Amino acid sequence: MRNILIVARKEIQEGLRNRWVLATTLLLAGLALSLTFLGSAPTGTVGVRALDVVIVSLSSLTIFLLPLIALLISHDAIVGEMERGTMLLLLSYPVARWQVLLGKFVGHLSILAFATLLGYSAAAGALAATGAEIDAESWRAFASMIGSSILLGAAFIAVGYLVSALVRERGTAGGIAIGIWLLFVLIYDMALLGMLVVDQGQILSGGVLNALLLLNPADAYRLFNLTGSAGVSAFSGMAGVAQNATLNPSTLLAALAAWALVPLGLAALAFSRREL
Amino acid sequence: MTGTVEIRNVVKRFGKVEAVRDVSFSLPEGETVALVGHNGAGKTTLMKLMLGLIRPTSGSITVLGDDPAAGQFEARRRLGYLPENVSFNAALTGQETLAFYARLKREPAKSVAPLLERVGLTHAAGRRVGTYSKGMRQRLGLAQALLGEPRVLLLDEPTTGLDPALRHSFYEIVEELRGRGATVLLSSHALTELEERAGRVIIMNRGIKVADGTLDELRRIARLPTRIRLKVTDTGLANVPNWLGPVEGWRRINGHMVEIDASPERKIELLRRATDEGAPVEDLDVFPPTLDELYAHFLLSQETAR
């Protein structure tokens, strides 16, 4: 346990020094703040559920941005250190490979969680400061949005590690990471939509669709946040979907958690078998 | 006798390449051993095996009583390693880097500053490692290898990039640790440098151990000639065989020098004659075979035996 924390601490230290933490936090806060104030323009200032609007726009932002940031931090974690030769020295120390991987995970996730928490809270804080009324349910939905965003980040960090543990070169890892991002964030939904249109409900049952949605962490995240609370789903235009959804929030969260844990376990396995 | 490092019949294959072939040796406490060989001779592979970074295909390795690949970390805490071309994360300072490694070895944070002082990096401790020169990185690498008073030091090409003054202080530190009972295994290309420092030499070629012993033992086995160089007066130069006796393998170097390749059993006899009362010799130098020559000899004899 102590080794994991030592490695995590070093990753955070490096993240602070590299300005990763600063850049990510500023990026998320800046985008969140502009979405908050631009996004409230159509509903006007009288909207009583201002925070729900923010949740809708922020979770859409998260789906694009957090996986990208997570993959950028993580794809280099193993193959990069191996290429630079720092891994050889680190592994000659009394520390197991799984401890190195888990330490990096804790460190990278802390950086991402810090940036998300600070950036998004800034948006909510600014909204509250302008005098908008926000009820308890909206706050709960907002908190679970931040929590699930961090979980989404964890899933993509783990996927990035798996790539990093499997490939031989950093360039390959970078390419594959971008490919994974494109696949899960853009192509998957388009392909799914296309299939539904072509199929016209003939073959694809609700069960198959549910399974397909759980197979993409970004979709699980989207469903969790846009249908999770009644107020939010009304604004996101997902109310109809929410009523018919057979996937309850805990299933979606479990899917996200599995997306973090399974790739992490596979990455640890691949890393432990790797010859130096 | 059991040493701190025991290697028994170790074979390591990478795919079809046999990097180490049936190598056995034992390293005792308080000895500096030089591991000599070409690139690809298996030196780095042997060190990685001793560190437990890779597992042997067959054979067994024991370091400080533990199997290094078994996941027992007790031994690694007492082990220092300096990899070839050591590198560090460029974003952290030298002090932060060393503190990180100290924490992993469970060494107190206060051990960092004296180590930086010892390798002469105190002035640069607060600078990012990315700004360091090659020599400074090498010194930082040495500092991390010295963390926690290691019982076994594995140094892979430790003096590349160090200037002569630093090289000297590096060997002083190594000698001091050896004096306190540490086992030091050095690999290097700079053979002349190892000559005075290593008590024992292990020569590797293509994964096979071709020679193992003290420098004197190796000289005896190799039976390489000792070079004797004589400064001779002009008159003496005209009729060398007359006063030196029947000698093969002598040659004139220039107008007043003669060089003889003396086999081990004839060495004393030749020296006696050269220093005899009437011999026309003004000055004399004796060169025993260097590690370079021994190395070349053992490689050649192994190649021809194959």
Residue contact A94–B85, C-beta within 8 A: no
Cβ partners under 8 Å of residue B161, min gap 6: B134, B135, B137, B138
Residue contact B76–A92, C-beta within 8 A: yes
**Residues of chain B that touch chain A, judged by Cβ-Cβ distance less than 8 Å:** 14, 48, 51, 53-54, 71, 73-74, 76-77, 79, 81, 83, 85-89, 91-92, 96, 100-101, 103-106, 128, 141, 144
Query: So what's the pLDDT on residue A179?
Result: 95
* Nearest CB partner across the interface for A94, out of B53, B89, B105: B105
Residue contact A86–B48, C-beta within 8 A: no
CA distance A65 to chain B (A): 25
ipTM over 0.95: no
Q: Average of pLDDT values for A20-36? A: 88
* Separation between Cα atoms, residue A251 and residue A219, nearest integer Å: 13
Q: At residue B6, what are phi and psi to the nearest 5 degrees?
A: -120, 125
CA distance B22 to chain A (A): 20
Q: Which residue has the tokens 């003290």?
A: B214
Nearest to residue A70, comparing CAs of A116, A102, A35? A116
Per-domain residue ranges of chain B: 5-220, 225-288
The strand order across the sheet containing B152-156 reads B79-82, B152-156, B183-187, B32-36, B200-205, B208-213
Question: E-strand spans in chain B?
Answer: 5-14, 17-27, 32-36, 58-63, 79-82, 152-156, 183-187, 200-205, 208-213, 226-232, 250-254, 257-262, 281-287
Q: For residue B55, list chain A residues with Cβ-Cβ distance below 8 A.
A: none
| Dihedral-angle region of residue A268 (phi above 0 means left; psi in -120 to 50 means alpha; beta otherwise) | alpha
Correct CATH for B5-220 of 3.40.430.10, 1.20.200.10, 3.40.50.300, 3.40.980.10: 3.40.50.300
Size of interface A-B (CB pairs under 8 A): 63
* Separation between Cα atoms, residue B207 and residue B18, nearest integer Å: 7
Query: So what's the pLDDT on residue B251?
Result: 80
* Separation between Cα atoms, residue B198 and residue A8, nearest integer Å: 40
Q: Decide if B20 contacts B50 (C-beta within 8 A).
A: no
* Separation between Cα atoms, residue A67 and residue A73, nearest integer Å: 10
Whether CATH 3.40.630 fits B225-288: no
- In this prediction, residue B1 has a pLDDT band, given cuts at 50, 70 and 90, of very low
Cβ partners under 8 Å of residue A110, min gap 6: A8, A12
DSSP letter (8 states) at residue B127: S
* Nearest CB partner across the interface for B81, out of A6, A18, A92: A92
Residue A69 CA: distances (Å) to CA of A41, A73, A166, A266: 28, 6, 20, 21
State the number of CA atoms in the 13 A half-sphere of B210 facing the CB: 25
* Separation between Cα atoms, residue A65 and residue A153, nearest integer Å: 9
Q: Average of pLDDT values for A168-193? A: 91
Burial of A164 (0-12, 13-18, 19+ CB in 10 A): buried
Residue contact B104–A276, C-beta within 8 A: no
Name which residue leads in pLDDT, B243 or B148. Answer: B148
- In this prediction, residue A85 has a pLDDT band, given cuts at 50, 70 and 90, of confident
Q: Average of pLDDT values for B113-132? A: 90
* Separation between Cα atoms, residue A101 and residue A165, nearest integer Å: 10
Q: What percent of chain B has pLDDT above 90?
A: 16
> In CATH terms, are B5-220 and B225-288 the same topology?
no
pLDDT digit string (tens) for B6-16?
899 999 988 88
- Where is average pLDDT lowest: A74-78, B55-59, B135-139, B278-282? B278-282
Q: Which two tokens stand for residue A189?
A: 């939904």
User: Could you tell me if A95 lies within 8 Å of chain B, comparing CB atoms?
Assistant: yes
Cβ partners under 8 Å of residue B286, min gap 6: B226, B227, B228, B229, B271
pLDDT digit string (tens) for A38-68?
766 655 555 557 777 788 888 888 898 999 9
Q: Is the per-residue pLDDT at B110 higher than 80?
A: yes
Query: So what's the pLDDT on residue A234?
Result: 64
Nearest to residue A76, comparing CAs of B91, B127, B132, B96? B91
- Where is average pLDDT lowest: A89-103, A231-245, B48-62, B178-192? A231-245
Cβ partners under 8 Å of residue A7, min gap 6: A95, A99, A100, A102, A103, A104, A106, A107
Residue contact A92–B83, C-beta within 8 A: yes
The most confident of A11-20, B195-204, B253-262, by mean pLDDT: A11-20
Burial A78-116 (b: 16+ CB within 10 A, else e): bbbbbbebbbbbbbbbbbebbbbbbbbbbbbbbbbbbbb
Q: Is the per-residue pLDDT at A238 higher than 80?
A: no
Q: Is the per-residue pLDDT at B131 higher than 80?
A: yes
Q: Which two tokens stand for residue B62?
A: 């024991």
CA distance A176 to chain B (A): 24
Residue to mutate among A14, A90, A93, A95, with most B CBs inside 10 A, is: A93
- SS3 (DSSP) at A51: helix
Q: Decide if B6 contacts B56 (C-beta within 8 A).
A: no
Query: So what's the pLDDT on residue A269?
Result: 94
Q: Average of pLDDT values for A11-22? A: 88
**Amino acid, single-letter form, for residue B224:** L
**What mean pLDDT is reported for chain A?**
85
Q: At residue B113, what are phi and psi to the nearest 5 degrees?
A: -60, -45
Query: So what's the pLDDT on residue A40?
Result: 61
Q: Which residue has the tokens 């051990």?
A: B111
Q: Decide if A253 contacts A224 (C-beta within 8 A).
A: yes
Q: Decide if B29 contacts B142 (C-beta within 8 A).
A: no
pLDDT digit string (tens) for B217-266?
888 888 888 888 888 887 777 777 777 777 777 788 777 888 888 888 88
The strand order across the sheet containing B17-27 reads B17-27, B5-14, B58-63
Any idea what the Cα angle at residue A33 is, between residues A32 and A36, rounded to 5°? 85
Cβ partners under 8 Å of residue B181, min gap 6: B29, B30, B151
Q: Which two tokens stand for residue A49?
A: 């559920």
Q: Average of pLDDT values for B109-134? A: 90
Name which residue leads in pLDDT, A102 or B196. Answer: A102
**What mean pLDDT is reported for chain B?**
85
Three-class SS of B210-233: EEEECHHHHHHHHCCCEEEEEEEC
- SS3 (DSSP) at B34: strand
Q: Which two tokens stand for residue B195?
A: 């000559």
Q: For residue B51, list chain A residues with Cβ-Cβ distance below 8 A.
A: 91-92
* Separation between Cα atoms, residue B37 and residue B186, nearest integer Å: 11
Name which residue leads in pLDDT, B171 or A244. Answer: B171
* Nearest CB partner across the interface for A94, out of B48, B73, B141: B73
Nearest to residue A127, comparing CAs of A61, A62, A236, A33? A33
| Neighbouring C-beta atoms of residue A202, cutoff 10 Å | 7
CA distance A81 to chain B (A): 9
